[in-house]
Amino acid sequence: MHIHHDHIAGGDHAHSHEHTHSHEHTHDGVTHTHEHTHAHEHGHTHPHTHDHLHGDGHTHDHSHECSGSCTGCASKCEHTPMEELTALMQYMANHNAAHAKELADLAAQLDKAGNHTAYEQVMAAVSDFEKGNMRLRMVLASLDMK
């Protein structure tokens, strides 16, 4: 067993990823919270580490600054326990949002199957789920400020 780090090219570039957000709206006198997912594109700089080959033939590692995100980062830098906790919480918050969307889809299927009461109950659960997730994000935001 061994640990290794692969090189991933970095630098300025644009990429797209899915972006999920929710909003609350009312219809037929019932307030629901729905999630929407759409593609989102932006540019940013990835840090990276790689070997340099110099004119005299020698090589050495060259590391760029940390951008605060581990995704796509091949750096050999060590992370503090707090950084790891924050990364895990960030993952959980995103993961919960994905689960909330799955539940909302499930609710829609219940509605389609003719069980509107079950649909409303599951959507209420989705709303509770999102409230809990919002609390997580507030904790994350407070950790970011420290």
Partner 1 sequence: MCLSTVYKNSRSEENVVLKNVMRIDCKDGMVILTDLMERTVAIEGTLESANLVDGYVVVKEYIPA
Structure tokens belonging to residue 105: 């889809």
From residue 24 to residue 63, the character string flagging contacts with partner 1 as x (rule: CB under 8 A) and all else as - is ----------------------------------------
> By CB under 8 A, is residue 95 in contact with partner 1?
yes
Binding residue for partner 1 (CB under 8 A) from 30, 88, 113, 134?
A: 88
- Choices 9-17, 43-51, 79-87, 128-136; region in contact with partner 1 by CB under 8 A: 79-87
AA letter at 16: S
Structure tokens belonging to residue 57: 């033939």
Burial of 11 from C-beta contacts in 10 A (0-12 / 13-18 / 19+): exposed
> By CB under 8 A, is residue 5 in contact with partner 1?
yes
Q: Which of 92, 125, 100 has the alpha carbon at shortest distance from 36? A: 100
> By CB under 8 A, is residue 4 in contact with partner 1?
yes
Nearer to partner 1, 91 or 135 (CB): 91
List C-alpha distances in Å: 32 to 47, 97, 103, 118, 127.
41, 15, 13, 14, 7
Q: How many residues bind partner 1 (CB under 8 A)?
A: 18
Binding residue for partner 1 (CB under 8 A) from 3, 53, 141, 145?
A: 3
Nearest distance in Å: CB 68, partner 1: 12
Question: Residue 6 CB: number of other CB atoms within 10 A?
Answer: 5
What are the phi and psi torsion angles at 25 (to 5°)? -150, 165
In the complex, which residues of this chain contact partner 1 (CB under 8 A)? Answer: 1-6, 70-74, 79, 84, 87-88, 91, 95, 98
